[in-house]
């Protein structure tokens, strides 16, 4: 009886160990992990990188539609180490978030926000460089694996130099425009440098880390971390997301004929005989 119980316990232990082993990952001919595919985050980081409680959204008349869900922090140290002098700008961003957030204006999301904005992106891995294509705003960037150089000019997606450290793709990003990190107004300036780390955990999961360094805004470098999930549905692909036309009212509504005359105190829809 005791012997049988010991054997049964060993079998359970061995089975648990087998199931605990990660699935083997696919590799390219050069031995590097194959991270090609369509990926997407599954969290509320684009709402707020830090923890947040549920709150009513801008569509109050529609009840729970548009409400902001709760979410946990993806910041490794839980909170972002802002300089005291930079907090006022974050608060101003938050107050104006519904019109001033670059996402609302359909600007390219920048790094690292492009990774966790709630739309998929695709990685193309070649024998030389790596390309990342994002559904939101049609953003694209190339990760240069050999031709490393400083950014020739600042841009929304910056300049990405990459290399492998064992099975982790490390990408160093510079030359970024000042940008927002989420809808809560967290931000960085054009002095920011981002270091990303992509680690393939299984055929279906990438671990993503991004360390943000900006001495004009933060007391010290800080890191976010989250899993990315491979899109597995049949026919998965990126679609065209034409968002500029969605942003026209926010950006140019004040230039419309009606608003122009309204700002002058003229009612162009009124009775002209009065």
Place 266 in a pLDDT band, splitting at 50, 70 and 90: confident
Residue 213 domain-assigned (yes or no): yes
What is the model's pLDDT at position 224?
A: 98
Residue 17 domain-assigned (yes or no): no
* Span 202-224, average pLDDT: 98
Place 244 in a pLDDT band, splitting at 50, 70 and 90: confident
Residue 201 domain-assigned (yes or no): yes
Residue 4 scores a pLDDT above 80: no
Residue 10 domain-assigned (yes or no): no
Give the H/E segment covering residue 143. strand 140-144
Q: What does the mean pLDDT of the chain come to?
A: 88
Contact 208, 198 (CB under 8 A): yes
Q: Say whether the peptide bond before residue 112 is cis (omega within 30 degrees of 0).
A: yes
Residue 26 domain-assigned (yes or no): no
What is the model's pLDDT at position 9?
A: 55
What is the model's pLDDT at position 54?
A: 92
Residue 18 domain-assigned (yes or no): no
State percent of the chain over pLDDT 90.
73
> Hey, is 121 helix, strand or coil?
strand
Residue 234 scores a pLDDT above 90: yes
Residue 270 domain-assigned (yes or no): no
Residue 18 scores a pLDDT above 50: no
Six-digit token string for 140: 């694209």
Tell whether the torsion through CA atoms of 230, 133, 110 and 213 is positive or negative.
positive
Residue 166 domain-assigned (yes or no): yes
> Structural domain of residue 105, as residue ranges?
37-253
Contact 58, 67 (CB under 8 A): no
The domain tally of the chain equals 1
């Amino acid at each position: 009886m005791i012997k049988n119980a010991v054997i049964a316990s060993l079998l359970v232990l061995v089975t648990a160990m087998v199931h605990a082993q990660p699935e083997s990952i696919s590799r390219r001919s050069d031995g590097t992990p194959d991270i090609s595919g369509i990926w997407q985050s599954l969290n509320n980081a684009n709402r707020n990188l830090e923890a947040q409680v549920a709150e009513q959204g801008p569509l109050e008349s529609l009840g729970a539609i548009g409400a902001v869900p709760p979410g946990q922090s993806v910041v490794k140290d839980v909170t972002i180490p802002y300089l005291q002098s930079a907090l006022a700008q974050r608060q101003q961003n938050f107050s104006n978030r519904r019109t001033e957030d670059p996402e609302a204006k359909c600007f390219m999301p920048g790094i690292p926000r492009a990774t966790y904005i709630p739309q998929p992106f695709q990685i193309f891995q070649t024998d030389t460089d790596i390309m990342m294509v994002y559904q939101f705003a049609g953003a694209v960037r190339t990760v240069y694996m050999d031709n490393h150089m400083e950014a020739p000019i600042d841009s929304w997606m910056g300049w990405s130099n990459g290399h492998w450290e064992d099975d982790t793709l490390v990408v160093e990003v510079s030359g970024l425009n000042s940008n927002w990190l989420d809808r809560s107004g967290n931000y960085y300036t054009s002095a920011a440098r981002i270091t990303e780390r992509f680690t393939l955990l299984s055929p279906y999961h990438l671990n993503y880390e991004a360390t943000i360094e900006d001495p004009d805004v933060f007391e010290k470098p800080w890191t976010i971390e989250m899993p990315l999930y491979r899109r597995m549905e049949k026919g998965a692909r990126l679609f065209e997301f034409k968002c500029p036309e969605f942003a026209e009212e926010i950006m140019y509504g004040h230039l419309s004929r009606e608003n122009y005359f309204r700002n002058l105190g003229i009612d162009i829809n009124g009775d002209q005989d009065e």
